[in-house]
Amino acid sequence: MGASFNTFKSEITYIKTLTQKTDATGFFIQELLRFYSLTGTMFNININLSTSCTVDERYLTHVLSRSLLEPFFINLYIFDDLSQMAIRYEEQKNTFSEQYRKLINDLQDPAWSNFMQKYGNQLETVNPQSSKPSTLPDVKSLLGKLKNPQNNSLAYLYPLYRITSFDTHGRSLGTIFESVFGKQCNFPVLDIEVAIDFMCDGYLSILNELRNNKMI
């Protein structure tokens, strides 16, 4: 594991003491704990997180990394400018509401009645949408709005999201590649340990900024 992950790990005891309010900071804190749970699991099971991992290892590391990348990008966006934090978190809430409404609407089909009889009481009732609220930009646009400390766009991170997404949906199997292209093909294997350290650096930066501004 990298140095940044070890630094992040050293903050976990402190992070667990923080109040998880229902605002942007609570969303951030809860994602930090989820991030630590998933990354810690990958390190603890001693799986190869480098580009030399096996295909079977890649099936796990790319899928788990995909589930970490999107919330990481969203948190970078929300906390990129603290003066815009509340507005951008409102976009995140609206995006969640829109996605949840779609989920519930899809499950109203009579075909899912047995499922709903069993699990419906664990789902929330949603109100019809009366207007189109402001939601998060798509991932590509979101990254294009962000810059690193050198003032360079973070759009270069989008391929990480797309490659891991492709793997997550089971689209990178060798047989389908060979069937389509008529030969055995390669598929990118990402250095997940480097990606984890990069995310740790970003999260630590946000954590320190919130701490210094006494917002947590």
Chain segment 13-28, per-residue pLDDT in tens: 999 999 999 999 999 9
Taking 80 as the threshold, does the pLDDT of residue 189 lie above it? Answer: yes
pLDDT the model gives residue 128: 77
119 membership: H or E segment, kind and range: helix 113-119
Model pLDDT, residue 129: 72
Question: For residue range 52-75, what is the model confidence (pLDDT) as tens digits?
Answer: 999 999 999 999 999 999 999 999
When divided into structural domains, the chain yields a total of 1
The amino acid sitting at 114 is N
Q: Containing domain of residue 82, as a range?
A: 3-212
pLDDT digits (tens, 9 = 90+) for 82-137: 999 999 999 999 999 999 999 999 999 999 999 999 999 999 988 877 678 899 99
pLDDT of residue 5: 96
**DSSP letter assigned to residue 46:** T
Quote the distance between the C-alpha of residue 213 and its chain's center: 25
pLDDT at 115: 96
Res 157: pLDDT: 95
Q: What is the mean pLDDT of the chain?
A: 94
Residue whose tokens read 């360079």: 152
Which of 1, 2, 18, 37 is closest to 206 using CA atoms?
A: 18
Please report, in angstroms and rounded to a whole number, the separation of the first and last CA atoms in the chain.
28
Q: Which of 196, 149, 216 is nearest to 4 (CA)?
A: 196
The pTM of this model reads 0.94
> What's residue 1's pLDDT?
72
